[in-house]
Amino acid sequence: MSALLPELSITGIAFWAPGYDDPLKLEAADPAIKAPEAELLPARLRRRCSLLTRMSAEVVARASDQAGIEPSAATVILASVYGEILTTGQLLSMMTEDPSSPLSPTRFHNSVHNTAIGYISIATENHSGSTAISAGSATVAMALLEAATTVAAGQGPVVVAIVEEPLPEGLASDGGVYDGLAVAFVVESRREAGVQVRLTQAKAPEPLPELPESFAANPCAGAVAVAAALLGDVAVVPLGPTNSRDRGWVLEVEGRGRR
């Protein structure tokens, strides 16, 4: 199947997490980086949005600006393993604590997996396609595969936002405690700008460097490593997961143009 995928350029890369906004500078957290500005969303929407939605808006805006495209004209893909899990957890707690009390309509409205992509499309008046993806440990790979096939169908450019927020306290077990993070990539047909890549399946190379403990357990943390690799000089970027024959989805970097 990979032979049918188009040659691609990644023309915009953005990253945000509490304490960090550059995937190449993860040595120490910056306490000044506390909350995403999310100025892509009107103030009225920002006030009632979850952390996941605000992080999504932040990286979509940054990556689009870097690529020189308008978010209103791009296909947008939101990828998250758990989606709006904090809002869902709040609703479940409310139901448990007071079953007779009516649920908050706003929280219920904001609890669906594709909340963020809905708010972004409304804010930008985007009439292009949008997709929300959840694929467990394969979420990063499947999000980029969806982007590649969308470009192949002539519906690019594509903004891929890979976003995860912390699990609610009741669901965070040993090894499941982590900070939220958001990464976005603008994927286009092959051009001189950006990083020229090909998505394919191959024998998995050595794993990318470990990430800070604050979000190493995040199920979408691999997207941070991918962003750092694409901004650095890595030639083959593993997306995971591998199969029984030790093969998995990878991004082969074939050139680095201007960004």
- Residue with more model confidence, 78 or 168: 78
What pLDDT score does 1 carry?
45
What pLDDT score does 244 carry?
58
* Mean pLDDT computed over 49-73: 93
Cβ contacts of 99 within 8 Å, gap of 6 or more = none
80-131 residue pLDDT tens: 998 877 777 777 777 777 777 777 767 666 767 788 888 889 899 998 889 9
For the entire predicted model, the pTM comes to: 0.89
In which domain, by residue range, is 52 found? 2-256
CATH number (domain holding residue 46): 3.40.47.10
Q: Is the pLDDT of residue 3 over 60?
A: no
Residue 32: alpha-carbon gap to chain centroid:
22
Cβ atoms within 10 Å, residue 242? 15
Query: What residue spans of the chain are helical by DSSP H?
Result: 43-48, 51-67, 85-97, 105-109, 115-124, 139-152, 222-231
What pLDDT score does 173 carry?
66
Number of domains in the chain: 1
Q: Is the pLDDT of residue 62 over 90?
A: yes
Q: What is the mean pLDDT of the chain?
A: 85
